[in-house]
Chains A and B, each alone.
Chain A
Amino acid sequence: MRLSTKLFVVLALAVSVGLATAVSPYASSHPDGLEKVAEDKAFLEAGKLHSIQDDAPIPDYAFPGIDNPRVATGVAGFVGVLFVFALGYGLALALRRRGRAGASASAA
């Protein structure tokens, strides 16, 4: 089944939004590989946040002001995935090889 680019992008974005919003609240909350090793080998305490991260809008993937932790994670995922999409799209749009200015592509 061959999809148009538009349909492919819409479907893939829908899957991404669904995973980040509805599935992420049920992800494993165990420490991940590095965190577990840091804990076991006693260097976890060395880790700290940078002061500019105190102002991070969505610290620790929990949208602020939402009491239910699963909902807070889901909303954080929803906002984050759309923000990353917009940023990636915008960057690609700014960088793309212009059809008309094809001559500049000879740099590659």
Chain B
Amino acid sequence: MLSSLPIALHIPDGFLSGPVATLLWLLAILAVANGLRIANATLDESRVPLLGVLAAFIFAVQMLNFPVAGGTSGHLLGATLAAVLIGPWIACLIMAVVLMVQCFAFADGGVSALGANIVNMGVLGALLAGYLIKVLMPMLPKTRAAFLGAVGVASWVAVMVAAGATSVQLATSGTVPLDTVLPAMLGVHALIGIGEAVITVAAVSAVLASRPDLIALGTFDAPPVRADAAPAGSPS
């Protein structure tokens, strides 16, 4: 029966030790609180429906496991997509909403591990991808292809960092040695990350074609929409 446990990419309870799970809950709360603060200060009325539909889209696509090598599947995380569309900090908030519904309504991912799942799949990916794209853009030609390339690279990196962070947390918890889990996790997620990049680039392309102004992070020919995309991390 244990093999039929409903585990997605999400960490279930029992994989992480109490201190590790608690520390990650604290980090998740800090990130979500900052997301709430920034949404409260900068979120424009016109963008309200966009947040709802982005959360819905990420939830939907997370259900679509695609096969990768060796009888394994993967699914979108969505943190990079969210960071590009609504800025990294509000993305943390939206990822937390999706992961909380999955945890409590669908029994997907643990309750004590929810903080870890929010940090790994939401916060780390959103902040890192947002930062990476901002750093890469000035170095790249001002073209659509270069922008989408940066989005794709950031998507892949976000998945690898999520997999690496999960491995470190599992090892620190004493669940499995790091030299056992890290290569295995990075190996399979190198492939899953390609799926993340393809889906994220496709979704961002669709938004670029229909409503490029909705891209909060800014595109190759337009500055960021709102303050969130820029020095959002600095305390007020």
Interface residues of A (CB under 8 A from B): 1-3, 5-6, 8-9, 12-13, 15-17, 19-20, 23-24, 27-41, 43-50, 52-53, 56-61, 73, 76-77, 80-93, 95-99, 104-105, 107-108
Cβ proximity bits B31-64 to A, threshold 8 Å, 1 near / 0 not = 0000011111111111111111111110111011
Report the 4 A-B pairs with minimum CB-CB distance, sorted nearest first: A89-B52, A88-B55, A47-B12, A60-B6
Say whether, besides A2-B210, A97-B40, A27 and B175 are in contact (CB < 8 Å). Answer: no
Is the Cβ of B63 less than 8 Å from the Cβ of A48?
no
- Chain B residues with CB below 8 A from A92, complex form: 39, 43, 47-52
Distance between A1 CB and nearest chain B CB, rounded to angstroms: 6
Q: Tell me the bound Cα distance from A34 to B57 in angstroms.
A: 22
CB-based nearest A residue for B234: A108
Is the Cβ of A50 less than 8 Å from the Cβ of B13?
yes
Q: Tell me the bound Cα distance from A70 to B38 in angstroms.
A: 40
- Chain B residues with CB below 8 A from A9, complex form: 49-50, 52-53
B125-133, B137-145, B148-156, B181-189: which lies at the interface: B181-189
Cross-interface CB contact of B41 among A45, A47, A61, A108, cutoff 8 Å: A108
Cross-interface CB contact of B101 among A2, A44, A47, A80, cutoff 8 Å: A80
Cβ proximity bits B1-28 to A, threshold 8 Å, 1 near / 0 not = 0110111111111110000000000000
Is the Cβ of A24 less than 8 Å from the Cβ of B63?
yes
CB-based nearest B residue for A3: B210
- Chain B residues with CB below 8 A from A95, complex form: 36, 39-40, 43
Distance between A40 CB and nearest chain B CB, rounded to angstroms: 6
Q: Tell me the bound Cα distance from A13 to B59 in angstroms.
A: 11
CB-based nearest A residue for B185: A37
Cross-interface CB contact of B71 among A19, A31, A43, A60, cutoff 8 Å: A31
Q: Tell me the bound Cα distance from A22 to B157 in angstroms.
A: 30
Q: Is the interface of A mostly helix, strand, loop or mixed?
A: helix
For the complex, is B98 an interface residue (Cβ under 8 Å from A)?
yes
Q: Tell me the bound Cα distance from A67 to B62 in angstroms.
A: 23
Cross-interface CB contact of A48 among B12, B42, B184, B188, cutoff 8 Å: B12
Is the Cβ of B184 less than 8 Å from the Cβ of A40?
yes
Say whether, besides A20-B63, A28-B67, A47-B15, A85 and B55 are in contact (CB < 8 Å). Answer: yes
- Chain B residues with CB below 8 A from A60, complex form: 6, 106-108
Distance between B42 CB and nearest chain A CB, rounded to angstroms: 5
Q: Tell me the bound Cα distance from A12 to B64 in angstroms.
A: 16
For the complex, is B168 an interface residue (Cβ under 8 Å from A)?
no
CB-based nearest B residue for A13: B53
- Chain B residues with CB below 8 A from A53, complex form: 103-104, 107, 111
Can you offer 23 A-B residue contacts whose CB atoms are under 8 A? Answer: A9-B52, A15-B57, A27-B73, A30-B65, A30-B72, A32-B72, A38-B15, A43-B176, A47-B15, A50-B111, A60-B108, A61-B108, A73-B63, A80-B63, A81-B59, A81-B60, A84-B98, A85-B52, A88-B97, A89-B52, A92-B51, A95-B36, A105-B41
